[in-house]
Amino acid sequence: MTETRKLLIEIGTEELPPKALRRLSEAFADGMSRALDEAGLEYQGIQPCAAPRRLALLVDALPVAQADREVVRRGPALAAAFDEEGCPTKAASGFAKSCGVEVEALDQLETPKGSWLSFRAIEKGRATTELVGEMVERALAGLPVPKRMRWGNREEEFVRPVHWIVLLFGDEVVPAKVLGIQAGRETRGHRFHHPQPIALASADDYITTLCDPGHVLVDYRARRDRVRNQVIERGEALGGKALIDEDLLDEVCSLVEWPVAIAGQFDESFLEVPSEALISSMQDHQKYFPVVSTEGKLLPYFITVANLESRDPEQIRAGNERVIRPRLSDAAFFWNQDRKTPLSSHAERLRSMVFQKKLGTLFDKQERMSRLAATIATQIGGDPAQAERAARLCKCDLLTHMVYEFPELQGIMGRYYAAHDGEPKAVAQAIEEHYRPRFAGDTLPQTTTGLALAIADRLDSLVGLFAIGQPPSGDKDPFALRRAALGLIRLCIEGKLDIDLDALLGTTATGFDAGIKAGDAVKPVFDYVMDRLRGYYQDNGLSVDLVDAVLATRPTRLLDFDKRIRACQVFRDLPEATALAAANKRIANILRKTDQAIPDKIDNGLLNDPAEQQLAEQLAALKPGVLELMAKADYTPALQQLAGLRHAVDAFFDEVMVMVDDDSLRTNRLALLKELSTLFLRVADLSRLQH
């Protein structure tokens, strides 16, 4: 039985970037996994560990050496290896010499392409300890580090200066250098609780020894869970509930080795400031967890996470309360200052804020959006006047003190300031909602005014930037047009808005100056949005062939597109689907290959074969009802009815020759197939469905 041991790899550093620690740890594990696979070393699993001053991996059940393997070298072809008398040629002798054997010791290799001389040998596997250093270096070199640094007079580079390396294979130190540092068995504990070096007896002791006596919870997930649980407990002890943002939880976990949650308090008078501003200040600036009541109302408490067990936690609490007061005072000052002038007063100042050099300022963008939003609101049953007003205010909060300090509050503060100015509720709400959806899974606007404004904003950016030749390219998407296109798709489909995208893009184009030639961008933008549907539906569990089947018919309404693809999804599960999809593919090939004009109507008098008569009769009987369903976008029952043609279609292709010599019969049969195909194509090109 192959001997296995646990391998410990620890890279000891100065404090690693907290927002990148989790990503670095996972990438290190992935890189090491690839290196082990490439080396042919099997293992049970890799446990990534990470703390502010270390990246570590524990590899379970790693063999002490690579398995021996057979190596086959192919030499010259047999025809070239021996002469007519059967004596070895120079080619055969040279190959044998390079293998260190006589020609008689060589084997023959038979392949479909011929016979060859070959040499088989057993290559002994290398010891794992010989390979570890090189594998670790390769895994570290592949980490996603935008900018590496050097330290001291060293040539090696890493994300932060490296101070120690631990490589333990079981209880044996791996004799290797990593990043120019000789590996050993000494790690470091908590910077304050246990700053002395700690000698590890074996890799198995790593996590427990660092915990006690080291005072370092090196298991990232366990430390993250402890932070979460402590914060939840402190929140409940305060009679509320801690707000736990997952990104903040990751960041805090990456800042502490030994987390201790401590609750603090601030003056209740600050609660007069919008809670979003206070929460942003606490989360983004101070890395605190806010506390809300069971009803979701912000309470005058916060929870911080210290990196040590203090003999006097009250000092830590008091220090954090002193720090948070000026931060919240700033937020209160911005709130009071901003309300001294109406939100609309900032509109003129937007003339100095460039949106894009060729497309003008944010004032220009608001003006275009106001006209477009009014048009969209009319189409979706909203109030065009409110949509126009909301558009003229939607970017104004960018010039407020609060949004300058907290950019993530754009839209949110616009809603507060508009409400303070007495703007209609729908207008104020739309100012915030027009940024939604901001990311995958984000909520959509809940008002028609917000929906109209959100669509107008995205359409204006897409058409304008495509028109001046700045579509997304490769990884470059400075104006987030991919996100804008996906947001537009969600707004129309999930918002149940039956609007014509192609026509709306044309309307958008008319809002730009003539020199922009925005009309030329309508088709490219339409195609770009439609291409994004593949990713949208894949993320929702639908296969690409369904999307391609509907894309082939080029519907211009995204909601209509969604109804078609849902109908195709149901149709594909019908027992008749496979045969009808194949029939549609056959029909498409026949029609594509003919170069003769095909009439739009069938001449029933020319139907002389029982199978074609039956198909024509069933098609004529189904067609009115199917067309009526399609006119109402009831595509699922329409396709279910068309599935009833399966046997008639099968019989037609079994018994009827389409491309007969008689011109009139051939043309009439092509017309029958064309009518059948056209009816299916009112929903999708079913020939593209995969089974």
Instruction: Tell me, yes or no, whether 459 and 590 share the same domain.
Output: no
Residue listed under structure tokens 């047999």: 78
The model's pLDDT over 230-244, given as tens digits with 9 standing for 90+, comes to: 999 999 999 999 999
Residue 183 has pLDDT above 70, yes or no: yes
Give a yes or no: residue 639 inside a domain. Answer: yes
Yes or no: say if 164 and 186 are a contact pair by the CB < 8 Å rule.
Answer: yes
Label the pairing between strands 289-292 and 241-242: antiparallel
Residue 594 burial (CB < 10 Å; 0-12/13-18/19+)? middle
- Quote the distance between the C-alpha of residue 651 and its chain's center: 47
Residue 82 has pLDDT above 90, yes or no: no
Instruction: Tell me, yes or no, whether 233 and 270 share the same domain.
Output: yes
CA atoms of 653 and 686, how far apart (whole Å)? 17
The model's pLDDT over 379-438, given as tens digits with 9 standing for 90+, comes to: 999 999 999 999 999 999 999 999 999 999 999 999 999 999 999 999 999 999 999 999
Domains in the chain: how many in total? 5
Instruction: Tell me, yes or no, whether 91 and 135 share the same domain.
Output: no
Yes or no: say if 398 and 410 are a contact pair by the CB < 8 Å rule.
Answer: yes
pLDDT of residue 1: 60
Strand partners, 535: none
Confidence band, pLDDT 50/70/90 cuts, at residue 111: confident
Give a yes or no: residue 678 inside a domain. Answer: yes
The model's pLDDT over 454-480, given as tens digits with 9 standing for 90+, comes to: 999 999 999 999 999 999 988 889 999
Show the domain range for 266.
220-338
Instruction: Tell me, yes or no, whether 239 and 330 share the same domain.
Output: yes
Mean pLDDT to the nearest integer, 604-611: 88
Instruction: Tell me, yes or no, whether 57 and 94 share the same domain.
Output: no
Give a yes or no: residue 266 inside a domain. Answer: yes
Yes or no: say if 3 and 64 are a contact pair by the CB < 8 Å rule.
Answer: yes
Residue 673 burial (CB < 10 Å; 0-12/13-18/19+)? buried
Instruction: Tell me, yes or no, whether 139 and 113 share the same domain.
Output: no
Instruction: Tell me, yes or no, whether 315 and 225 share the same domain.
Output: yes
Residues whose CB is less than 8 angstroms from the CB of residue 31 and which lie 6 or more positions away in sequence, other chains included: 138, 139, 140, 142, 143
Instruction: Tell me, yes or no, whether 379 and 520 share the same domain.
Output: yes
- CATH code at 174? 3.30.70
- CATH code at 458? 1.10.3210
Residues whose CB is less than 8 angstroms from the CB of residue 677 and which lie 6 or more positions away in sequence, other chains included: 584, 587, 588, 591
Percent of the chain with pLDDT over 70: 100
Helices (H), 510-609: 522-539, 544-551, 558-572, 577-593
Edge to edge, the sheet with strand 107-111 lists 69-77, 114-123, 107-111
Among the candidates 91, 106, 121, a domain finishes at 121
Strand partners, 242: 291
Task: Return the minimum-mean-pLDDT range out of 5-9, 371-375, 650-654.
Answer: 650-654
Among the candidates 305, 338, 371, a domain finishes at 338
Give a yes or no: residue 558 inside a domain. Answer: no
Is pLDDT larger for residue 488 or for residue 120? 488
Confidence band, pLDDT 50/70/90 cuts, at residue 123: confident
Instruction: Tell me, yes or no, whether 240 and 264 share the same domain.
Output: yes
Alpha-carbon radius of gyration of the chain: 35
| Structure-block tokens of residue 198 | 């700690």
Among the candidates 294, 323, 338, a domain finishes at 338
Instruction: Tell me, yes or no, whether 440 and 302 share the same domain.
Output: no
CA atoms of 533 and 557, how far apart (whole Å)? 12
Instruction: Tell me, yes or no, whether 385 and 522 share the same domain.
Output: yes
Instruction: Tell me, yes or no, whether 256 and 405 share the same domain.
Output: no
Look up residue 282 and give its DSSP letter.
I
Give a yes or no: residue 254 inside a domain. Answer: yes
pLDDT of residue 407: 95
The model's pLDDT over 498-518, given as tens digits with 9 standing for 90+, comes to: 999 999 999 999 999 989 999
- Mapping DSSP to helix (H, G, I), strand (E, B) and coil, where does residue 320 land? helix
